[in-house]
């Protein structure tokens, strides 16, 4: 592999615009993370990538690749997270601003968590690029250069990524093995992010478990241990076409309509960490919650959770993809109340927007003047969020 990587002029403010917006990183911080170098390596291994990446790297002085691989991209559903990394066209569905998301993370998981999350997101993207390289036929040395040879966790992560790539290319696929390898590789990312103290390690473990859906304990025990694997983390979208990580029928079935909200909340929490493949309403959320459609999916997610209980929300199930339709159905059934009319309970649906509804989630708990939620399509994933109970963003609640 050529030593040319990263030798071109540094990226400018505009080229880093979306990354700065999403992660709160300055261009200098992003460049120090080795993102340009990772994409240059990826381009050399996979010359048939998105044209926007080719144009960006050409502008950085990276010449066309001289090495050609077979272009295999089957099942690489997180490709665009890496391939559009600096492309400014990467959409981010996010009801909260990046600063508000950062404040949420620090409030829920402790001060300093937002900074760890920013490092984690960059690590996810490098890991996704490394998996693509492995599927393209890249060697351990080439994969290691994408991950960063100076990172002490690179060798172990490289081995895990190569094992996952081999399992994904196996025919027929071994679904249990793919699940196990996805979990193991995601758990290794904790060491790859590089906790600098025992406190940081504890925070990262909690962040991976509660924000990204990666349970380190389950990864060590195998697919049967700990929390059921739903397809979260950096590698979760690799299970999209395999059928692994699907929710068994009846797991969240409610014994009565009065229990539907709490069971829907359980279903929602089981999906934390599931995220889009490329930021285009795709990947597992599209397949699992939206029937394969690529559309804004916050309402799809809520209605999916209630269908898992055997007590679906009222109305046409396809039309429930519309937040305003869902709100109107709750009003028509006498199950809606405005923010000023009372406090929510766990399992209630929370509606956001002014003047019209534009986002929904499920209430997890209420404490200290805040409402805590589980939402789909927030930062392109299923995640926990929190709001002041008197926030003007909250329109009201639906109690099924």
Give residue-wise pLDDT tens across range 45-99: 444 444 544 555 455 555 544 433 333 332 222 333 343 333 323 334 456 777 8
CA gap 260, 263 in Å, rounded: 5
- Tokens at 339, concatenated: 């923010």
Query: Confidence class of residue 14 from pLDDT cuts 50, 70 and 90?
Result: very low
Of the two residues 229 and 94, the one the predictor is more confident about is: 229
**Cβ-proximal residues to 247 (8 Å cutoff; 6+ apart), any chain:** 228, 230, 267, 270, 308
- pLDDT given at position 21: 35
Instruction: Give yes or no for residue 104 having a pLDDT over 50.
Output: yes
Strands of 336-338's sheet in order across: 336-338, 394-398, 349-352, 359-367, 370-378, 381-388
User: Residue 166: helix, strand or coil by DSSP?
Assistant: helix
**Burial group, residue 230, by CB count within 10 angstroms (0-12, 13-18, 19+):** buried
Query: Confidence class of residue 218 from pLDDT cuts 50, 70 and 90?
Result: low
Sign, CA torsion 331/333/334/337: negative
Query: Confidence class of residue 258 from pLDDT cuts 50, 70 and 90?
Result: very high
- pLDDT given at position 99: 82
Report which of 48, 118, 61, 53 is spatially closest to residue 81, judged by C-alpha positions: 53
User: Residue 287: helix, strand or coil by DSSP?
Assistant: helix
Instruction: Give yes or no for residue 321 having a pLDDT over 90.
Output: yes
CA gap 301, 304 in Å, rounded: 5
User: Other CB atoms closer than 10 Å to residue 324's CB: what's the count?
Assistant: 14
- pLDDT given at position 219: 54
Mean pLDDT (whole number) for 93-119: 85
Instruction: Give yes or no for residue 313 having a pLDDT over 80.
Output: yes
Alpha helix segments (H runs only) across the chain: 17-23, 27-32, 35-45, 51-59, 79-83, 98-109, 113-135, 140-147, 154-169, 175-193, 198-210, 216-221, 260-270, 283-289, 298-308, 323-332
- pLDDT given at position 217: 72
- Tokens at 69, concatenated: 């691989």
Q: Which helix (H) or strand (E) is 215 found in, with range?
A: none
- Cis preceding linkage at 73, omega within 30: no
Domains in the chain: ranges and CATH: 17-230 (no CATH), 257-398 (3.90.1720.10)
User: Other CB atoms closer than 10 Å to residue 259's CB: what's the count?
Assistant: 15
Query: Nearest 10 degrees: CA dihedral of 101, 109, 284, 292?
Result: -50
Mean pLDDT (whole number) for 315-327: 93
CB 283 within 8 A of CB 391: no
**Predicted TM-score (pTM) of this structure:** 0.78
CA gap 235, 53 in Å, rounded: 21
CA 183 to chain centre: 14
Query: Confidence class of residue 128 from pLDDT cuts 50, 70 and 90?
Result: confident
């Amino acid at each position: 592999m050529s030593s040319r990587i990263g030798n071109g002029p540094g990226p400018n403010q505009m080229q880093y615009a979306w990354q700065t917006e999403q992660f709160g990183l300055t261009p200098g911080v992003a460049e120090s993370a080795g993102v340009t170098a990772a994409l240059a390596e990826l381009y050399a291994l996979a010359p048939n990538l998105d044209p926007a990446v080719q144009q960006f790297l050409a502008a950085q002085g990276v010449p066309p690749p001289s090495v050609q691989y077979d272009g295999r991209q089957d099942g690489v559903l997180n490709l665009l997270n890496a391939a559009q990394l600096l492309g400014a066209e990467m959409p981010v569905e996010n009801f909260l601003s990046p600063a508000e998301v950062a404040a949420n993370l620090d409030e829920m998981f402790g001060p300093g968590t937002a900074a760890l999350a920013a490092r984690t997101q960059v690590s996810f993207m490098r890991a996704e690029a490394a998996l693509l390289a492995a599927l393209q036929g890249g060697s351990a040395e080439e994969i290691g250069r994408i991950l960063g040879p100076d990172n002490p966790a690179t060798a172990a992560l490289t081995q895990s990524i190569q094992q996952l790539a081999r399992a994904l290319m196996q025919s027929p696929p071994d679904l249990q093995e793919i699940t196990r390898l996805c979990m193991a590789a995601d758990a290794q990312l904790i060491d790859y992010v590089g906790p600098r103290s025992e406190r940081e390690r504890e925070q990262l473990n909690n962040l991976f478990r509660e924000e990204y859906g990666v349970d380190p304990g389950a990864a060590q025990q195998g697919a049967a241990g700990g929390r059921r694997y739903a397809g979260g983390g950096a590698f979760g979208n690799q299970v999209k076409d395999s059928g692994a990580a699907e929710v068994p029928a009846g797991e969240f079935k409610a014994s009565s309509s009065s229990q539907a909200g709490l069971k829907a909340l359980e279903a929602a929490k089981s999906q934390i960490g599931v995220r889009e493949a490329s930021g285009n309403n795709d990947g597992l959320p599209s397949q699992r919650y939206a029937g394969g459609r690529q559309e804004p999916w916050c309402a799809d997610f809520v209605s999916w959770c209630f269908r898992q209980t055997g007590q679906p929300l009222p109305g046409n199930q396809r039309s429930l993809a519309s937040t305003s339709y869902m709100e109107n159905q709750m009003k028509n059934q006498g199950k809606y109340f405005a923010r000023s009319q009372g406090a929510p309970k766990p399992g209630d649906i929370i509606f956001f927007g002014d003047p019209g509804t534009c986002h929904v989630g499920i209430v997890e708990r209420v404490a200290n003047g805040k409402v805590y939620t589980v939402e789909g399509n927030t930062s392109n994933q299923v995640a926990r969020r929190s709001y002041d109970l008197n926030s003007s963003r909250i329109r009201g609640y639906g109690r099924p």
